[in-house]
Amino acid sequence: MAKVLCVLYDDPVDGYPTSYARGEIPAIERYHNGQTTPTPEGIDFTPGELLGSVSGELGLRRFLEEGGHTFVVTSDKEGPDSVLDRELPDADVVISQPFWPAYMTAERIAKAPQLKLIVTAGIGSDHTDLKAAIEHGITVAEVTYSNSISVSEHVVMMILALVRNYIPSYQWVVKGGWNIADCVARSYDIEGMQVGTVAAGRIGSAVLRRLKPFEVGLHYTDRHRLPEETERELGVTFHPDVESMVAVCDVVTINAPLHPETEHLFDEALIGKMKRGAYIVNTARGKICDRDAIARALESGQLAGYAGDVWYPQPAPEDHPWRSMPHHGMTPHVSGSSLSAQARYAAGTREILECWFDGRPIREEYLIADGGRLAGAGAHAYSVDAAAGSSDKPAT
């Protein structure tokens, strides 16, 4: 029998919900590329419930305990005295979410000799030291595509919120005002703007598809060029590097994985090559942007706005400059954790566990590392250099 250690974010401050705003969520059976949504043999939750917090337990407790497994759930994940570190030495499986990651560093992996499987409930496994996982023969898996559309919707929302100056306008209403001039002094139409994505994988391409009806110019840069027919369908222009793309864009959205090649990619030099008054939306990873360079660019006016839901470190300290810099639209890391997405990534996590316990192959598209090598989605998203160590470790 296995010990499964699951790290999830805390419950709502007012307690775990007893009811929800909606009685149901739409049933999605396939994603845009034809891949089926998770197909576990069963689930022990109602889609639309809060599953990603400690009390939600990803809907896994009954399944695991009926199978004779030990299931430990905690939100306490930082420092040597954390529940994560205390429970890790004899854990067989570790599960966490990108929104509240269990940072599986080389040091932690070395202290967990029984560890065989690391699962990301969602997408993005850069909180795991892939090189260390590979060296120890640990399988790393995530629920690929489960919340890609959720994130892409969040990106479009944030682009519109920045360009139309929505958040300050809303705040005037909350304060009892009717200050139309103040609201519109920084408000523009997105129509006719040039919008580019750094990476056009599942999330980036979904953003492009959703933005096409807005009659904007679309651009992208990626290590893997889209098929010619896809470029024609979207009317999108390919750029061989980030520098050439950002120079022509009014809005840049970042949808790339974090690895050594993308860490601090948007530094002062690159931001200086952007149009003055451009916008950046980053729902990928906080460390892709230089923290202080972003704040300075907003203060100087080089950037007109910055929004996103990814920070470094996470959770962000109270004095993080992104909380107080001007013209931002930051949120906690929530873009991929809607209740709709939770139903999919909880089901996908169970599917992965069912396969693991039964000795059946895990879906290829869910694999990041397997059998001592990058595999599946990991072989596409990460380079060999990326496996040399996680870039998204907590600050020390």
Active site members: 147, 285, 314, 333
Take residue 287 and report the two structure tokens written for it.
Answer: 């460390």
Q: How many whole angstroms from its chain centre is CA 305?
A: 20
Compute CA 390 distance to the chain's CA centroid, rounded to the nearest angstrom. Answer: 15
DSSP state of 203: H
Q: CA-to-CA distance for 98 and 332, rounded, in angstroms?
A: 12
Relative to beta strand 194-198, strand 251-254 is parallel
Nearest C-alpha neighbor of 390 from the set 35, 132, 165, 168: 132
Q: Find how far residue 209's CA is from the centre of its chain.
A: 19
Distance separating alpha carbons of residues 59 and 222, to the nearest angstrom: 36
The C-alpha atoms of residue 57 and residue 322 are separated, in whole angstroms, by 31
Closest CA to 83 of 6, 194, 186: 6
Longest CA pairwise span in the chain (Å): 65
DSSP letter (8 states) at residue 370: E
